Amino acid sequence: MISIDDTAVHCVRPSHLDNCRVMIVSADPRVRERLFQLVTLNAFEPRLSENGAEALAWLELEHCPVVLVDSQLPDRPAGEVCTALRGGAGGRYRYTVLFCDPSDPRAVVDGLRAGADDCVSRGAQDAELVARLEVARRVATLEHSLRAACDANERLAIVDPLTGVYNRRYLDRQLPRELERARRYVRPLSLVAFDLDHFKAINDRYGHDAGDRVLRTVSRAVRRRLRRGVDWLARCGGEEFVVVLPETGLQGARVVAERLRAAIAAERAVVETHAGEPRELAVTASFGVAAVEELAD
């Protein structure tokens, strides 16, 4: 919320927003100082750069949702910087505001066409600059929320909600990619498939809640014994799972399968009987292993 009195412009930071990093790009020390003071006063986190190349290099290392660019840069046209900002950030959005000389309307047109979201005159009052910063904050916050929602939806589409491992959809999509990678680089790839023995009897005797707890217990036990960031586990049926082992040949996959078989047999899932009493269940699983040692054209 912005409050304006006779001497200053103040912004009360909304409680639901974090500080928004702002990159200020200008070779003019007076412009940098003015914008630095406004940005700091209004609960933003400033970053300063004197030219376009330095700013772009910095932004490769740290994401700034808002970028304020002076139209007069010493090393390259400001429009070129705006275009680079729009194409970078790994798909993350940057709200770009171009500061233009009021006597140069062409710079406004060129800046907007190059990718700037907004243009403001160098002679604008502080109140206007703060209002435009708040617009930038709102857009950056909305973009962040939309991105988070999209990421959550994408995760829901590929993750089994019960066990937290990948689902059949992800297996069908990702396994051909793993096979193509193994073929391209002539590397081994193995699969370990397993299903829980007599799982229907657990559901029939103790109920589906008990069966769900068994599935979660087994999934956690298996995931703990896989290489993080390399191997992955997918649930492809009710009690059926597949472990994908890149860079692993048949002999190595047999070792992994035996380790997983023993780990599952050693686990105990605590379930409730129909009488409401806790009981520990031991489960076993049957395994199959397949591997491709080399895939050539």
Q: Cβ-count burial of 280 within 10 angstroms (0-12 exposed, 13-18 middle, 19+ buried)? A: exposed
**134 given a catalytic annotation:** no
| Apex 143 CA angle, 80 and 27, nearest 5 | 35
Q: What is the 3-state secondary structure (H, E, C) of 69-101?
A: EECCCCCCCHHHHHHHHHHCHHHCCCEEEEEEC
Report the amino acid identity of residue 136: A
Query: Token digits for 150?
Result: 């999209």
For residue 63, give the 3-state DSSP assignment: coil
Pick the catalytic residue from 54, 60, 239, 272: 239
Strand partners, 45: 21
In contact, 129 and 38? CB cutoff 8 Å: yes
Q: Can you tell me the distance from the alpha carbon of 218 to that of 203, in angstroms, rounded to the nearest whole number?
A: 15
Q: Which residues are catalytic?
A: 239
